[in-house]
Structure formats: structure tokens, C-alpha cells
Amino acid sequence: MRSIQKTQSKPQGAKPERGKAVGAKFLLLRPAGYPLKSIFQECPSVADARLFELYAREQWYGEEVKPGCYLFDRRLYPDYAFQVVRAYPRRSVVGFETTIKVEQKAEVKKGVSYDVSFDEVVGQEEAKRKVKIVEKYLSDPERFGRWAPRNILFYGVSGTGKTMIAKALSAKAGVPMLAVKSTSLIGEFVGEGARQIHSLYEKAEEMAPCIIFIDELDAIALDRRYQDLRGDVSEMVNSLLTEMDGISSRLGICTIAATNQIEVLDSSIRSRFEEEIEFKLPDKDERLQILEKNASTLPLEMVDVDLKEIARQTDGFSGRDLVEKVLKVALHHALMDECNISQKHIEEALPRARKHYRQPPTEMFS
């Protein structure tokens, strides 16, 4: 009897595999649209990535792909085109084991309105004074014309109130704020971060007047000497420069960026900010205000605690340090001891908090 060999079944209508073609391990596709006008005008979206991958493998089995080429979906969406953004290897053939992903347009979260006032920020009086011009601009953008405050840079030690001032400004001006961390803009593939920046500004234009708040700016706007260490940085910097330069045509938008390391920013980015606002560490009186303000909200009572003494001992602490590394730690210790917060609990938290200093104390030299 003639032996019967079992063969792996191929999808119906599949093309035969090419002689020495290498099987594609990964494909990244970008929805491109319809070549002709039809009733199908809406860009299809992927409801289930796993099912789409099975569907795509079956339809395009045996297709040779490379970056820049197009694959046409002739089944569910008549002749809808997908462009190949990335193929690994670069020239390869779609097979059973090919991982297929569709690039999704970056979604920018809806702007948020905050219930924060400038009175809640202790100190930083110079910063409060300088941002008043932004408040006036957002209240009446057309009044300023080309003299509008478009790009503002907040810099200073972490925990000194940069984000809170931005939130308070949003609340006082009565406009939404699109807040993003630079690290969240860094994509897996080169070009992805740049597209997210463009998407951010397009969303802001729809919501204007509004504030764009970019935190941790140094994560993407490094000095060009460091850009060889970050593959996506160059494109992201160019994208951000384009948006900051072109924002004059987008009425009612102000970009506020924040950084803890102004000295490492790329000079081309830094030059785009017409105002740099420094946020300083609180002095002794301001530290006392911060301690008193937050101590009043603790769920446990403080017994025989000398906050003036704590304020004296915490030179070099930021407002966040005082709240997170002193008061919160003292509260947790008191909860574990099942008693009220004492001076002992707070002073026990200080040595550990001092390890986080970024600047040497200054008052001892005054």
C-alpha cells in the first residue's frame, strides 16, 4: 500500500510558499484607507487583536512583505489597504507563525478641570505672580495676538509645587488641562512618540482654550549630546519643536513644561520657552506652614509634637518630602504602635528622609 503522508492544512485559497523566502516573524500594519470612494468611508478598528491576527494570517498567507508595501483586505472591508510599517525580517513572507499587529492612533486623555487654588500652594510667590499673564491670555486669547505667552518652563527640585501651580492655573482660568508625562510619550517603535506629540496638540486645538502640561520634559528633550543613547529622542525633539513653533496658529493654547534637571535640556528646546520660572525649596517658615496645613488632615491626633522644631530640622526638604517622607511615615508608625502620633514618631522618620536630599542644607550657612 502506498503510504499516506499527513500534511499541515493551508487556508483556503492560500498562495504556495515561495522557494527560499524567509517567514515573517512580525508585522506592524497601519490602516491606510480605501483606494476608491465608496460607502465604506470609516476607518475600521480592531475589536479583538487575537481574532484579527488569525484573520490576517489566513488572508495574506504567502504574501511577500516589506516596509512600505500595502496589503489589501478584500473580504470584510472591500479593498481596504493596510501599509506595512515594520516587517521582521525586512523582506519576508506571511506564514502561520507571523505575529501581526495593527498600529493604533494614540489616544489623548480628555482634558481635566481641577479644583485647586493658588492658596493651597505654600510659597512660590514669584511663580504665582508670573503665571498670571497665562491666566489673562487664556481668558481672552484674541487680545494678545502674536504677543501671547505660548511656551512656559517650570524648573526646580522635585516636590516643590510645579504640577500644583499648573492645576491651580487651570482652575483659575477655567480651562481644561491636558497633562502628560514625557515618559508615557516614548513608544516602542521609532516615530511613535512623534505621532503622539502631534496627536496631543491636535486634541488641544479641539479643546482650546486649554493648557498642555508636559511633566518630566528632560526624559525626551535631552541635550543632543545624549541623543545617541535614545533612538526615538531625535524625532520626538523635532516633533516638539515643530509644535512649539507652529502653535502661533493655534489660538488659546499654552504649553507648560516641567523639569527637575534644566541643565540637561537640549538648547533648541529650551530656547523656545519665552519664560523660565524657578521653583525653590521652602524656607523654615514655609516648611512650618506645610507641616501645619497637612497635619490638620491626619486621621490620628498629634500629641506633644513641636512642628516648629521639625521645621527647623528639615532644611533642604521639599513640600513633598515633608508630607510623604515625614508626616506619612510618622502616621504609619503610630498606626502600627496603635497610638497617637508623637514627636518620637516624627523624629524617627527624619534620618531616612534625609537620605533623599538632592541639595545640601543652606540655612546652616546663613
12 inside domain: no
179 inside domain: yes
111 inside domain: no
290 inside domain: yes
List, in order, residues 6 or more apart from 48 with CB less than 8 Å away. none
Based on the fold, state whether residues 243 and 144 are members of the same structural domain: yes
pLDDT value for 91 = 87
Based on the fold, state whether residues 83 and 131 are members of the same structural domain: no
213 inside domain: yes
Query: How much is the average pLDDT of 266-278?
Result: 90
Based on the fold, state whether residues 215 and 338 are members of the same structural domain: no
Q: What is the CATH number of the domain that holds 331?
A: 1.10.8.60
177 inside domain: yes
Based on the fold, state whether residues 267 and 288 are members of the same structural domain: no
More confident residue, 267 or 153: 153
In the chain, how many domains are there? 3
13 burial via Cβ count (<10 Å: 0-12, 13-18, 19+): exposed
Tens of pLDDT, residues 209-264 = 999 999 989 888 877 665 554 455 667 777 888 888 865 567 889 999 999 989 88
Based on the fold, state whether residues 161 and 223 are members of the same structural domain: yes
> What residue spans of the chain are helical by DSSP H?
49-60, 125-130, 132-139, 141-144, 162-173, 182-185, 192-207, 233-246, 267-270, 284-295, 307-313, 319-320, 328-337, 343-354
Q: What is the CATH number of the domain that holds 79?
A: 3.10.330.10
pLDDT value for 4 = 36
1 inside domain: no
| DSSP line for 89-129 | SSSEE--TT-EEEEPPPPPPPPPB-----GGGS-S-HHHHH
Based on the fold, state whether residues 270 and 295 are members of the same structural domain: no
Q: What is the CATH number of the domain that holds 122?
A: 3.40.50.300
Tens of pLDDT, residues 23-48 = 888 888 888 777 665 444 556 666 66
7 inside domain: no
Based on the fold, state whether residues 351 and 315 are members of the same structural domain: yes
Tens of pLDDT, residues 102-132 = 876 544 445 566 788 898 899 999 999 999 9
Give percent of the chain above pLDDT 70. Answer: 77
Say yes or no to pLDDT of 303 above 70: yes
More confident residue, 85 or 318: 318
Based on the fold, state whether residues 177 and 264 are members of the same structural domain: yes
**Residue at which a domain ends, from 102, 127, 161:** 102
Based on the fold, state whether residues 147 and 246 are members of the same structural domain: yes
Based on the fold, state whether residues 233 and 198 are members of the same structural domain: yes
pLDDT value for 55 = 82
Beta carbons within 10 angstroms of residue 228's beta carbon:
9
Q: Confidence band (pLDDT; 50, 70, 90) for 6?
A: very low
**Residue at which a domain ends, from 102, 136, 169:** 102
More confident residue, 322 or 79: 322
Residue 127 structural domain: 118-279
Integer CA distances (angstroms), 200 to 179, 184, 269, 296, in order: 10, 12, 17, 39
Based on the fold, state whether residues 191 and 304 are members of the same structural domain: no
**Residue at which a domain ends, from 279, 297, 331:** 279
Do 334 and 345 contact (CB within 8 A), yes or no?
A: yes
Query: How much is the average pLDDT of 6-29?
Result: 60
Residues in the chain: 366
Tens of pLDDT, residues 52-77 = 788 888 888 888 988 888 888 766 55
Say yes or no to pLDDT of 287 above 90: yes
Query: How much is the average pLDDT of 268-289?
Result: 93
Q: Confidence band (pLDDT; 50, 70, 90) for 17?
A: very low
Based on the fold, state whether residues 267 and 294 are members of the same structural domain: no
pLDDT value for 210 = 92
Do 176 and 210 contact (CB within 8 A), yes or no?
A: yes
